[in-house]
Amino acid sequence: MSALTKLRSPVKPMVEPRAILCSTGNRVKPSKTETAKKKQQVTKSPPDSSVTSNFSASNDDSSSSSTSSERSSVKTTDSKKILTPSKRNGSVAKLNGVVAVGNIPPESPGPVKRCHWITPNSDSIYVKFHDEEWGVPVRDDDKKLFELLVFSQALAEFSWPSILHKRETFRKLFEDFDPLTISEFTEKRLMSLKVNGCLVLSEQKLRAIVDNAKSVLKVKQEFGSFSNYCWRFVNHKPLRNGYRYGRQVPVKSPKAEYISKDMMQRGFRCVGPTVIYSFLQVSGIVNDHLTTCFRYQECNAETEKESKTELDLLSM
């Protein structure tokens, strides 16, 4: 046989399957005979009942477990919603996604509610002034009433905390606010208060204090005391406004305007309606504590106690 005949002889088929390029990479494509054999084996062998039952049981377990997990998650979220306020007490702990509830201690009472002008940053002397003095009825004490009138006039130049810090200085320079002594201040004594620089009050305010002291003495001669003069405008009973919010509290009132006019006619100076309303508030002639403030009810209780004592004295 020639070489040409050998080259033209047919090529024998390859026994091993060729690797083809699939979407998941190079894999060996099985032959048709192998595929047919596998199909015959699958059709001949019946399905294993144990495998089927196990498969169904596992599906049931998974479904039940998913349902129980969903219920537990709902309960957990509900418990979280209920126990959220007490987390700060350390009574609720979360471990591996499970909320553990221990003994929940009782909630501690909140901060004391005061009037709107007292804040967490307020001066301690100012807070004490609110809790113990502001709004408490001042009766039968002309010196104290005159002192509060002077402080109400000084609010045009000072704030309440500044006045309270200078309170002892005021008392020393004005002879403990004795109207009789202040009415006798000479021009030299009056100017010395300004030169010393102990007070920042203007000269107008200093002269008004001396003039008002003289007017207080006149009122005492007519009404017996400065206290009787002041309290007669409200029939000797404090006015209770009962405001709930700070924005409702006015800076003056018709009653303050009426008292202001009467005092001006009697020779008082620097006693405008705003000054007089501040004086009525601080002296307790008007109870302007907010109804949400703990001092509102306490001041009312003190007033009722005084009224009861007066009735007992009159009945004797």
Please state the pTM of the whole predicted model: 0.64
Superfamily, domain 124-315: Hypothetical protein; domain 2 (1.10.340.30)
Please check if 115 is assigned to a binding site: yes
**What residue ranges do the domains of the chain occupy?**
124-315
The pLDDT assigned to 81 comes to 44
The pLDDT assigned to 78 comes to 46
Residue with tokens 């202040």: 182
Half-sphere exposure (CA, 13 Å, Cβ side) for 214? Answer: 13
**Other Cβ atoms within 10 Å of 301 Cβ, number:** 10
The tens place of each residue's pLDDT in the chain, 316 residues long, gives: 444 444 555 555 555 555 554 544 455 555 555 555 555 554 554 544 444 444 444 445 445 444 544 444 444 444 444 444 444 444 444 445 544 444 555 555 567 899 999 999 999 999 999 999 999 999 999 999 999 999 999 999 999 999 999 999 899 989 999 999 999 999 888 888 876 555 668 888 999 999 999 999 999 999 999 999 999 999 999 999 999 999 999 999 999 999 999 999 999 999 999 999 999 999 999 999 999 999 999 988 877 766 666 555 555 5
Please check if 165 is assigned to a binding site: no
The pLDDT assigned to 193 comes to 80
